[in-house]
A and B are shown apart, each in its own frame.
Chain A
Amino acid sequence: MTDYNAMTDEDFRAEVRRFVESEYPAHLRNPPHRLHWQEGEEWFRIVQKKGWVAPGWPQELGGMGLDASKQIILIEEYERYGVARLPDHGVIMLGPLLIRFGTEAQRARFLPRILAGEDIWCQGYSEPGAGSDLASLRTEAVLEGDHYVVNGQKIWTTLATDANWIFCLVRTDKSGKKQEGISFLLIDMKSPGVTVRPIINLGLHDEFCEVFFDNVQVPRENLVGEPNKGWSMAKALLGFERIFLGSPRQSAYALSRLRMLAERMGVYDEPEFQERYTKLRCDLEDHKALYETFVAVLRRGEPLGADVSMLKLHQSDLFQRITELMLEIGGENAGLLKPMEGNRDLHPSGQFIEARPTTIYGGSSEIQRGILAKAVLELPG
């Protein structure tokens, strides 16, 4: 087994670069939307063969055992090359959760199936009435003998149509504080009573879904951790999500496309454009520097603090501002539904729309600001 952590950062980076450049399918570079499983499975199989499905998991569980900084290098190199994100909730969210809070039996049952691409997971947290106020969720799981009976509805579940399993936050106790009656439950989506309805998003793509539960029977052993402790377990995973969503990748990609568009539109050399473009470049470089400080925390093996919210907040804002400038300089082309001249790199309207939800999902920007104000700045209220 290769000890990647023993490699220098440069060597590891070169290794990742070699891998993607020689093996990543060209037609999947920088796809205009999240790939469905079937669209990207070809790449998954290549990664699987290489043994790189789960960069962050320990090697004895089939992962690469990468430390945080090596994981970041991997992500950076993937992004630099335009490697598509596959349905990865199993690898990124559920795996780490089971490794930390699951039982031996749960790990043995679920982890290998994730690595084999047999189980595709989606994340069932949000509900129609519980978005920013997630703790008010109402999908209910009632214990009857050796199984839970689940009733309720999830919404905005990304790629639920591709998934055969969903990990859910469900209500198991209505008596006390709302955060204290929530459990973490794994549900086989082929169970009778589960219905998925795709929702067409603003990009006109069927990326997220509604998931309905009508008297769905879930074996008791599918509960992760203690009953009513789901909230704190889910929260423990948020730090990693926020650093992932705060990575400079989206902005870096968008900025490179902004440049291409400016060149195509003949404004690249104009002083007005240069002034604004340079500001965005500086913003991106500063963002990378900020990002590095959080990576350094992980590298030292320390937990991320609430201040990681800054990363996601600034990244999503920067990404949006870049695409807003695209819209301005694209002229009437910015109103086109499809890429200009059939060139995927020149798609101001598509990029602009894709940047919209980044300030909504994963904790909206308003919620992140609230966290900063209260948990970091310790302002009253």
Chain B
Amino acid sequence: MSAMLEDERDDAIRMIRDSAAGIAPRGGDRKRIRALRFQSPGFDPAVWRQMGEQGWIGLRVPEEQGGAGLGMGAFCALAEELGAALAPEPLVHGALSARLLAEAGATGPLERLVAGEALVLTAWQERAGSFDVPGTPEAPRLFLPMADGAQSFLVPLRQGEGFSLILQPAEGADLTLEPTQDGGSFGTLRPRGGETVGTLSAAQMEAALEEAALGTAALLLGVMDQAFAMTLDYLRTRQQFGKPIGSFQALQHRAADLKVQIALGRASVESAAMLCDRADAPAAQRRAAIARAKARAADAALLVTRQAIQLHGGIGYTDEADIGLYLRRAMVLANQFGTAALHRRRFAAAQPEVEA
């Protein structure tokens, strides 16, 4: 990437962080998040629309198709901010659908989705902890987040080497919901009917899911970063034995170790995003970087949020304390778009060891 392009990229990332702070401030109060928990649909459609107006849902969609045409660096910065703010709006899932609709050339539904007027969820998953898209016609599609707020589902059906994409309206759909730990829900859809809106190759599908995996890693990065910031505040203010608990060396070392994990997570996510934004990067290299980032982010986010509870003591084990919201969000995000173990296997397959 040339120096000029790099500057442009950095500017875009900075701007996106600023605008994220306007809608979903990191340090904002968690009243909005709490009010939406365990309610249907678990997010605020008005905020979804705002996200559309900001150009976030179609951030990765080319400008000529009505998107912002920005790179993964910007998308990950945005996802990180939304993760830190615990925003329940399913941006990564919406963006996945936008990308698939754009690649399939389904202009009508794409327009409404990127405007935030509708939520389209891609119903790709048939097995827990999986990352492949079997595209079985009758198979129930699992783990659709906030599915009761969706207007339609995008169902990939296996066709030869690729997929045909079926758009099925949510109205009248056979959908069951289960609440999730973070106050949202997972829907199970038994697909039927709908209209074909285009076709995709297997490679297109996989690349889109990889971006969603990286976006999820960025969400997790935001979750752990903010949980850690709150924990540091607590270490500085909570007094026991006549001093702030952050003065105890055991806790200082723990905090230092967590900082290392967060730094690794950030470096991993940002370098993977950088590779995605380089047109000349080989697919295998990109795949390895994304796999590494998702595995690191999942493990680190769970570690940091677990330790955040521990370092808060009794108050950390209450529902009243906001720190618990971060643990719950990490629990729900960690295994989405591939578990850490799965991504480590993908890493090993995509980046074979070079003999020394």
A contact residues vs B (CB 8 Å cutoff): 126, 129, 131-133, 136, 155-156, 199-202, 204, 208, 265, 272, 320, 324, 327-338, 349, 352-353, 356-357, 359-361, 364-366, 369-370
- Residues of B with C-beta under 8 A to A327: 302, 331, 334-335
Q: Check B339 against A335 for contact (C-beta < 8 Å).
A: no
B302 touches A364 (CB 8 A): no
Other contacts beyond A329-B341, A332-B336: 7, CB < 8 A: A132-B240, A133-B240, A327-B335, A330-B129, A331-B130, A337-B179, A365-B310
**Which chain B positions have C-beta within 8 A of A155?**
314
Whether the pair A336, B250 counts as a contact (CB closer than 8 A) is no
Look across to chain B and name the residue whose beta carbon is closest to the beta carbon of A156: B314
Chain B contact residues: helix, strand, loop or mixed? mixed
Taking a contact as CB atoms closer than 8 A, the residue among B182, B186, B251 that contacts A366 in the complex is B251
B142 within 8 A of A: yes
**B239 with A129: CB separation less than 8 A:** yes
Partner pick for B331 among A136, A320, A349, CB 8 A cutoff? A349
Give chain A nearest CB distance to B339 CB in angstroms: 6
Q: Known contacts A133-B241, A200-B319: does B180 contact A336 (CB below 8 Å)?
A: yes
How close is A240's CB to chain B, nearest CB, in angstroms?
Answer: 22
User: Is B266 close to A, CB under 8 A?
Assistant: no
B181 within 8 A of A: yes
Contacts of A333 in B (CB 8 A): 128
* Bound form: Cα–Cα A361–B309 in Å: 12
A202-B309, A328-B339 are contacts. A265–B128 as well, Cβ < 8 Å? yes
**Neighbouring B residues of A199 by C-beta, 8 Å:** 318, 320
Say which residue of B179, B309, B333 sits within 8 Å of A336 (CB atoms). B179
Known: A200-B318, A202-B317. A366 touches B331 (CB 8 A): no
Partner of A360 from the list B129, B180, B314 (CB cut-off 8 Å) is: B314
Is B339 touching A202 in the complex (CB atoms < 8 A)? no
Cα–Cα, bound, A286→B224 (Å): 34
Bound-state Cα–Cα, A361 to B340, Å: 30
Closest A residue to B182 by beta carbon equals: A335
Query: CA–CA, A343 to B303, complex, Å?
Result: 27
Cβ-based interface call for B108 (8 A): no
Interface residues of B in 217-250 (CB under 8 A from A): 239-242, 248, 250
Which of A331, A336, A356 is B339 in contact with, Cβ under 8 Å? A331
Q: Are A337 and B178 in contact (CB under 8 A)?
A: yes
A356 near B313: Cβ-Cβ < 8 Å: no
- Measured between alpha carbons, how far is A202 from B181 in the docked complex, in Å? 10
Least Cβ–Cβ distance between A268 and chain B, in angstroms:
14
What would 14 A/B residue contacts be, using CB atoms closer than 8 Å? A129-B239, A199-B318, A200-B318, A208-B314, A327-B334, A331-B335, A332-B129, A334-B335, A335-B182, A335-B331, A335-B332, A360-B314, A365-B310, A369-B250
- Known contacts A265-B129, A337-B180, A364-B313; A332/B142 CB under 8 A: yes
The complex places the Cα of A349 from the Cα of B302 at a distance, in Å, of 12
Q: Which residues of B contact A332 (CB under 8 A)?
A: 125, 128-129, 142-143, 186, 335-336
Chain B CB within 10 A, most for which of A331, A333, A335, A357: A335
Binary per-residue interface labels of chain B (309-326) against chain A in the complex, 1 for a CB within 8 Å, 0 otherwise? 110011011111000100
- Most chain A CB inside 10 Å of its own CB: which residue of B125, B314, B320, B341: B314
Chain B neighbourhood of A131, CB < 8 A: 240, 313-314
Q: Which of B260-290 touch A at CB < 8 Å?
A: none
- Give chain B nearest CB distance to A248 CB in angstroms: 22
A residues less than 8 Å from B324 (CB atoms): 202
List residues of chain B with CB within 8 A of the CB of A361. 314
Cα separation A199 to B320 with both chains bound (whole Å): 8
Complex Cα distance, B340 from A242, in Å, reads 35
Q: How far is the CA of A357 from the CA of B142 in the complex (A)?
A: 32
- The answer to the question of B255 belonging to the interface, with a C-beta cut-off of 8 Å to chain A, is no
- Cα distance, A129 to B238, chains bound together (Å): 9
Q: Judging by beta carbons under 8 Å apart, are A366 and B248 in contact?
A: yes
* B93 contacts A by Cβ under 8 Å: no
Given contacts A327-B302, A335-B331, contact A360 B179 (CB under 8 A): no
User: What are the 9 A-B residue pairs with the smallest beta carbon separation, nearest first?
Assistant: A331-B129, A331-B128, A335-B332, A133-B240, A200-B319, A337-B179, A332-B143, A357-B317, A156-B314
Asked if A202 contacts B239 (CB within 8 A), the reply is no
Q: Are A329 and B129 in contact (CB under 8 A)?
A: yes
Q: Say whether B61 faces chain A, with CB atoms less than 8 Å apart.
A: no
Residues 54 to 108 of chain B near chain A (Cβ within 8 Å): none
Query: Does B327 reach chain A (CB closer than 8 Å)?
Result: yes
In the complex, A291→B324 CA distance in Å? 32
B306 at the interface (CB under 8 A from A): yes
- Whether the Cβ atoms of B318 and A201 lie closer than 8 Å is yes
Please, which residue of chain A has its CB at the minimum distance from the CB of B329? A335
Query: In whole angstroms, how far apart are the Cα atoms of A155 and B317 in the complex?
Result: 12
Bound CA–CA A337/B319 (angstroms): 14
Chain B residues whose C-beta falls within 8 Å of the C-beta of A370 in the assembled complex:
250
Chain B nearest Cβ from A346, distance in angstroms: 11
What residue in chain A is nearest B241 (Cβ atoms)? A133
Q: Chain B nearest CB: distance from A307 CB in Å?
A: 19
Measured CB to CB, the nearest residue on chain B to A373 is B250
Contacts of B142 in A (CB 8 A): 332
CA distance A202 to B310 in the complex (A): 12
> Which of A131, A201, A334, A369 neighbours the largest number of chain B CB atoms within 10 Å of its CB?
A334
Minimum CB–CB distance from A216 to chain B (whole Å) comes to 23
Question: For residue A334, which residues in chain B have a CB less than 8 angstroms away from its CB?
Answer: 331, 334-335
